[in-house]
Amino acid sequence: MYDAQSFEQIPKTNGIDVLAKRLSFGSGTQTCEGSIALKIRVCDHDRDISWTVSATCPRLIKGIKVEITNIPFKSLTDPFGQNIDIDDGSGYASTFPAGAYPNRVLPTSDISERGSWLPMSPAQFMLINAPDHTILLRSEDYPPQFKRYWFFRNGRSINLVTYTEANGSEKKKIFSSPRYFLEKFDSISDAVKIHAGWMRNAYKLVPFNERKDVPKWVKNICLNLNFHCHATDGAVLNTFSTIEKKLEQTAKFFDPKLTHIHIVGWDGKWDYTWPGLTPDLILGGEKGLKQLVKKAHTFGYHIDLHMNVMGLSYQNPDFEKIKHFLEHQIRDIQDRRVDWEYDWDGDEVDEKIFAYISPDYKPWRDYLIDRILAVVKKYQIDNVHLDQATTIINDNRHNHVRGLNALFKELREVLPPEIVISGEGTSEPVLGLYPLATHMVNADQSIVPQLLFDPFVRIFEYGHPTKPGRSIWSNPWRKTKETIEKETATGGSRSFYENLKKIEERKIIPSILFKNDTIRADSVEAKAVYKVAARIRDQLEID
C-alpha cells in the first residue's frame, strides 16, 4: 500500500489541491517514485464537498483509497432502502455493484457479515443518517468502476473509507478516481433524487412504460407462480405434469392472462447442467415440457424457464465438447479462477458446481444465445430469465460490464419482440438491459427503490415460504423437521404476511412459491396472494 511521503497544499477559490511528488510504503520506512494529486472542492453554501484523486506508481495500480473522519452518524441506508445500524467500535462494509465480489477468506477489516461476501450496494451511493440531516455519499462514474465502502463507528461519528478499484483487465501505472461527493440533505428522498437523476441521464434510462423491449403482456402481469423441480441432491419437487395440475387449480382463483410462471430446475439437477437447457427426463422430458407449455398457453399463462447468464457446469453432459470455454473463465483481480461453489453434501468442503465464463468473450455469447434460441423456438416460451445477471465480477482478463451489455443487446436483437428478457435482481449497471427483474430484498425505506429502480423495471418476487418442506434452495444436510419449521416461521426474520405487505407497498408482482408438490393453490396463504394481485390489477386499471 502506497501513501504520500509529503505533500504540497495549493489553495483554490472553492477548495484546495494537494500534491505529493513521491510515495512512501512499508509504513513509511521506504520511498519510491510516484505521485498523488487530490482535488477537494466546496459546493453549495459550504454544505457539500467533492473530491477526485489521481495517482502514478512504478507498479500497476489496483485502486485508490480515501479516508474521511468524524462524519456525524446515527445509521446507514443502502440503495436497497435497508436501514443499517453499526454498534460503537464496529464497522460495516459494502461493495458496488455486486456482493459476490470480492470473495474474502480472512477479511482484514474484521467485518464478516454474510460470510465471505461483502453486502451488495446496487448503486454507487450510500446514505449516512446523521442526527438532524441525511448525508449522501455518491460518485458520478460512467461506465462504472468497482467500488467498496467501509464505515467504522466511533461514538456519534464514523470514519469513512472509499475505494475505487481499477478494472482488472485494464490496470495501468496511472489511475484516477471518479468524482465523489458528500452532500447534505433534509430528507432521504431529496438525496436519492439527486443520484437517480444523474443515473437516468448517464445510462440513458427509459421509463418502463416507454421501453421498446417490453411486450404488452408484461405490463399486465399481476401474479407470479414459481415452481421448483429438480433439486441438487436429486429430490424431485415438481414434475411437468404436476405443474399442469397446479395451473388448472390456480386458474380458478386468478386470471391466467395476468399471470407469469417461473420454473427452476427444469433442465436437470439445479445448477448442474448449464448451459445444456434440455428438459429433464425425470420431469417429463421434451414431450412433457411441450405439453406443459401448450396447456399453459391454452389457459393464457405466460411462461419462463430459469437459465444462467454465465454458468458452465462441470457435470454438463457435453462438458468435454465445451470445456475449451474454460480458457475464458472469469478470474478475480488476483487472477484466480471463479466458480460457483457450495457444500451440498455436508462434508465442510465446497463442491465446484459450475465455472463462470466471461460474457465479454464473444464465442461464449454466441454459444449461449444459440442454446437459448433453440429453447425459445422449440418450446415457445414467453420469457428468457437469466440468473446471476447482477453477479458482476472484476475480471482480471475481461470486462464483465461490457460483456453483459453485449450479451443482452445481442440476445434482444435475435429474439422475437413478444419474448421478454428478465434477470435476477437489478442494479445500476444493468438497469437498462432488461425490463423485468426478480425481487432481491425488502426495503425499510421503500422510497429509495421506488425512486431509483421502480420507474424503469417491473419486479416480481420468487415467493415466500408458506409451510415447512423442501425447496430447491434447501440444503438437506442436518435439516430436521423442527429447524425447517422454525425457518419457515421466521422467513428470514419476516413472516409471510409481513413480506406480502412489503411486496404490495411497492406494487411488486407477488408470487406463490410452489416449492414442492404439496403446496396448494387454494391455501389461505395463496388466497392472500391472489387478493394482493387483484388490488395491483385494479391499481393498474387492467380490465
Residue showing cell 457450495: 342
| Residue 344 · residue 264 · CB < 8 Å | no
Q: What is the CA radius of gyration of the chain?
A: 24
pTM (whole model) above 0.85 = yes
Report the percent of the chain where pLDDT is more than 90. Answer: 85
Please report which confidence band the pLDDT of residue 489 belongs to, taking 50, 70 and 90 as the band edges.
very low
**Mean pLDDT, rounded, for 476-494:** 53
Question: What is the per-residue pLDDT for 541?
Answer: 85
pLDDT, one tens digit per residue, over 125-165 is 999 999 999 999 999 999 999 999 999 999 999 999 999 99
**C-alpha 45, offset from chain centre:** 37
pLDDT, one tens digit per residue, over 299-311 is 999 999 999 999 9
Question: What is the per-residue pLDDT for 29?
Answer: 94
Domains of the chain in start order, with CATH, are 218-424+462-507+510-539 (3.20.20.80)
Question: What is the per-residue pLDDT for 132?
Answer: 93
**Sign of the CA dihedral 307, 309, 315, 319?**
positive
Please report which confidence band the pLDDT of residue 483 belongs to, taking 50, 70 and 90 as the band edges.
low
Question: What is the per-residue pLDDT for 492?
Answer: 41
pLDDT, one tens digit per residue, over 24-67 is 999 999 999 999 999 999 987 667 999 999 999 999 999 999 99
> 349 pLDDT exceeds 90?
no
pLDDT, one tens digit per residue, over 70-120 is 999 999 999 999 999 999 999 999 999 987 787 766 556 666 554 567 889
Strand partners, 139: 180
> 543 pLDDT exceeds 90?
no
Sheet containing strand 157-165, edge to edge, reads: 63-72, 157-165, 146-154, 91-96
Q: Compute the distance between CA of residue 26 and CA of residue 32 in angstroms, rounded to an integer.
A: 11
3-state SS of 420-454 is EEEECCCCHHHCCCCCEEECCCCCCCCHHHHHHCC
Question: What is the per-residue pLDDT for 347?
Answer: 83
